[in-house]
Structure 1
Amino acid sequence: MTTGTEARRGTQPEPSAPGTRSRAVGAGLASPRPGLATTLVLLGVYAASRLVTTLFLAVVHALTATATWAQHDGGPGFAGYLSSWDAAFYREISEQGYPVELPRDDEGRVAKNAWAFMPLFPALVRVVRPVVGGDWLIAAIVVAVLAGAGATLVLHRLMLTRFGARASFWGAVSFCVAPMSFVLQVPYAESLFLLLMFGALLAMTARRWAWFTVLGVLASVAHPGALALSAALGLTWLVRLVRDRRARRGGVENERLDDSTPLAEHVRIWAAGLVVTAAGFAWPVVVAVVTGERDGYFATESSWWRDYIGSDGFVPFTPWFRFGEAMAGWLGVVAVVLLLAVVVLGLVRRSQRLGLELQTYAIGYVAYLVAVFLPQQSSFRMLMPLAPLLGDPQLSATRRRVVVTIVAGLALQVVAIVLLWTAWPP
């Protein structure tokens, strides 16, 4: 049984170059498959964690139902509590579709609206709804919970491509009880998005470019952020190309493309990357075509910014610095620079443990957040796609670290439910 009781293993050697497609090497690149026992244990852990989270949500709701500081806006009762915040937009999309005309506030600025949210999750909920008796909330929770279970299993298998069995198992468990894991069972698209992102990453490590393309495109219509996949693929291809050329100059025999089809494999990689990139940029085009407003999507997204920095208007790679300046002037900008430097340094220092694919993915996703996302309380939820980093063997090197990680995750989950679901939107 490949769980924490299994003998520890070190990190696996980094897979060969992206283009490697010979039969022997291709077979070796097939991602490790966890045993049935481990899969069932993880599903049990996931189910138990969702029950614990349901208890947390119910208790917090009962204790704060009449609190003046509780701002959840989903309606009365526990069902309304679970339907708060972005869930209302997903329900609107599922039942009414998207508005043809962008709503505006009293000053003529684009107001918050459904175009900020992608269509895949509400479309699946609409399909499932008749099966569960027609209740939208139940259908949305079913889709979210099942997708979260799939995300847990795929994440575990993704971790196995780089980390040992112990680290991968406890990394998946940590994902189930992480502070923001309550989002996996509310009407949000996160669990579906994570399932698709982790699946696309797994396909990339296995050089399954068709699967990478399909899952990457689906992720692009589930939630913003899939462009990190294209960035990871491009960076991985470039780094290994440079390494290969250096090795050739140094006279070192290096694994490279199958000599019979090197160009074809490069074409597959580039085609996959370009298709996923195009899908990642497609939604703003769709919004522009339907609404007739060229910057409709960006105006919609930045309409949320006015609550934090007093203005909107999207310029890539400026949101974090604008937020820092709005909060603390030039000191805030300096703080942002220092924070980003610490993050980059941490990723570089962990490069050997993470391996190239996970490192480039983490870099690509962080770059995406810096480029387009305004930091605020939703930042914690937006960090969930970085869950593969939970497989770092240092987090599960001893029993004490495992216990501390799990207990801390559960304790902080209660804090997150109070602050980021009850008092403010997550």
Structure 2
Amino acid sequence: MATQLAESRARARKARGPGRRLLGRGRTRLVPAVRNAAPALLGYTAVRAVGVLIVLLWDHPHGGSALHRLATMWDSYWYQDIASHGYSGSKPLPGPHGPYQAYAFFPVYPALIRLVHLVLPLSVPQAALLIAWAASLVAAWGIFAVAAHLYGRRTGVIAAVLWGVLPYAVVESLAYSELVFTAFTAWAMYAAVSRRWIWAAALSVLAGLTRPTAVAVAGAISISALVALVAEWRRARRGTLPESGRTAPWRLLLAAALAPIGFVGFVLWVGWKKHSLTGYFKVQEAWDSHFDFGRSTLDYLRVIFGTANTLWMPDVVVTGTLAAAVMLFVLSALQRQPLPLVLLSFFILVLAIGDAAYFNSRARFLLPAIGLLLPMASVLAKVRTRGAVPVVLSFAAVWSGIFGGYLVFVYTNSP
């Protein structure tokens, strides 16, 4: 009887097949991973809830819909227009440097908006905001995963919460593509620092279909993979590379080749649609967005510090953010972070300073530079005074929320 029962169970397991077993293994891995990241996700959710609550209270006396504003302001219009009408159905709008066109915006976020809108009983703005908020949690989880892998769980939790209290963290509550992009970026970095190179490249491809700043992700992954290939080859020749430390050369070469495909593919597609190899960059010129090696940034800083004109608060905050980012990059290098993180921070910092785009967007460009969070997170993780870190992060959450409300309701330009 016992033998028959055992044979019956064995036949049942076989009938379930490898897919069922794979699903079981995936569930077995996912549950502990979620449990491990829970403090980071709860902390991040708490500080962003503070920011959103401040925005809601700010708008309450006016009787408006703050959530609708978060879902529809500025660039959100373009993503939702693409989701509703496609690229060819989106109408250009007049601009001072030429017509604003939907081809400046990458396709992954609009595609997700359309998918959720079709599947769930949500309007397009509601779907856009839902995806953005869900992606922000995935991004916070990725930031935790990177920091915890390198410096321990406490540092990972603090890094995720720090990302939610940055001066421009209100962007993390808008229907913007930065959230989806940062999610892909953070997990690409985790894959790279844990030597999962093909996964890193695949996530880089997705990032490259989400935002133009994905050139930073692609560059970080491709260069790091090639450096790892050369380093392993040299160690193998010297006989100092253990078998457990080997990565198949084809994996590294494939990762280096795949990483930029998303960005390059979209740029070439826009070029094909515009009948010009440089079509995408011509579209971007309507937003006065091109790389000028920092000349526009320096010119704007001269205006800020060299005139008696009244300054807007974002001018001061963005200037301070850029200065802090440079210092944090130096600290990141001194911290001896893994090469993919250092390169990512470097390339994003170069893009933020070197692009001719609207000055106050530079703090937003820095949001995916997750390596810049790690020096601060590491220092705070070493603080043992009871309650000190929660107090600091709570104060930062309130300040970030107030500044976020200012950006949403008072400031007249996009964040």
Q: TM-score range by the shorter chain?
A: 0.7 to 0.9
Q: Decide which moves more: 385-394 or 340-349.
A: 340-349
Between the aligned partners of 1:158 and 1:386, the Cα distance in structure 2 is 12
1:182-261 superposed matches below 5 A: 182-237=170-225, 254-255=240-241
TM-score between both structures, scaled by the size of structure 1? 0.73
Choose from 324, 331, 335 the match for 2:298.
Answer: 324
Other-structure match for 1:97? 86
Choose from 329, 352, 356 the match for 2:338.
Answer: 356
Letter in 2 for 1:97: G
TM-fit CA distance, 1:36 = 4.8
Whether contact under 8 Å (1:189, 1:223) holds in the other structure is yes
Give the SS at the match of 1:374.
coil
TM-fit CA distance, 1:221 = 0.9
Other-structure match for 1:15? none
CA 362–327 in structure 1, closer or farther in 2 if over 3 Å, else same: closer
Whether contact under 8 Å (1:120, 1:221) holds in the other structure is yes
Choose from 124, 146, 159 the match for 1:158.
Answer: 146
Whether contact under 8 Å (2:295, 2:354) holds in the other structure is no
Whether contact under 8 Å (1:56, 1:414) holds in the other structure is yes
CA 236–421 in structure 1, closer or farther in 2 if over 3 Å, else same: farther
CA 224–191 in structure 1, closer or farther in 2 if over 3 Å, else same: same
Structure 2 residues not aligned, in runs of 5+: 1-28, 307-320
Whether contact under 8 Å (1:196, 1:218) holds in the other structure is yes
CA 168–300 in structure 1, closer or farther in 2 if over 3 Å, else same: same
1:298-309 superposed matches below 5 A: 298-305=281-288
Other-structure match for 1:61? 59
CA 288–163 in structure 1, closer or farther in 2 if over 3 Å, else same: same
TM-score between both structures, scaled by the size of structure 2? 0.75
Give the SS at the match of 1:292.
coil
Rg: which structure is higher?
2
Between the aligned partners of 1:368 and 1:256, the Cα distance in structure 2 is 38
Matched-pair identity in %:
24
Other-structure match for 1:25? none
Letter in 1 for 2:98: V
Q: How many residues align?
A: 367
Whether contact under 8 Å (2:165, 2:393) holds in the other structure is no
Other-structure match for 1:394? 379
TM-fit CA distance, 1:158 = 1.1
Structure 1 residues not aligned, in runs of 5+: 1-30, 66-75, 306-311, 333-338
CA 409–134 in structure 1, closer or farther in 2 if over 3 Å, else same: closer
Q: Decide which moves more: 213-222 or 225-234.
A: 225-234
CA 55–102 in structure 1, closer or farther in 2 if over 3 Å, else same: closer
Other-structure match for 1:377? 360
Give the SS at the match of 1:355.
coil
Deviations 1:157-180 (A, max 9, x none): 111121122111111122233333
Q: Decide which moves more: 222-231 or 56-65.
A: 56-65
Whether contact under 8 Å (2:177, 2:210) holds in the other structure is yes
TM-fit CA distance, 1:79 = 4.9
Letter in 1 for 2:405: I
Deviations 1:213-270 (A, max 9, x none): 2211111111122222232234435655776788899x8x7437779x87x42x3223
Deviations 1:120-151 (A, max 9, x none): 11111111113331411221111111111111
CA 292–179 in structure 1, closer or farther in 2 if over 3 Å, else same: same
CA 175–366 in structure 1, closer or farther in 2 if over 3 Å, else same: same
Between the aligned partners of 1:162 and 1:279, the Cα distance in structure 2 is 28
CA 36–220 in structure 1, closer or farther in 2 if over 3 Å, else same: closer
Between the aligned partners of 2:154 and 2:109, the Cα distance in structure 1 is 33
TM-fit CA distance, 1:293 = 4.3
Whether contact under 8 Å (2:132, 2:179) holds in the other structure is yes
Whether contact under 8 Å (2:139, 2:183) holds in the other structure is yes
Q: Decide which moves more: 201-210 or 275-284.
A: 275-284
CA 166–184 in structure 1, closer or farther in 2 if over 3 Å, else same: same
Between the aligned partners of 1:64 and 1:386, the Cα distance in structure 2 is 36
CA 79–198 in structure 1, closer or farther in 2 if over 3 Å, else same: closer
Choose from 38, 46, 51 the match for 2:49.
Answer: 51
Whether contact under 8 Å (1:244, 1:256) holds in the other structure is no
Between the aligned partners of 2:286 and 2:35, the Cα distance in structure 1 is 48
TM-fit CA distance, 1:112 = 1.9
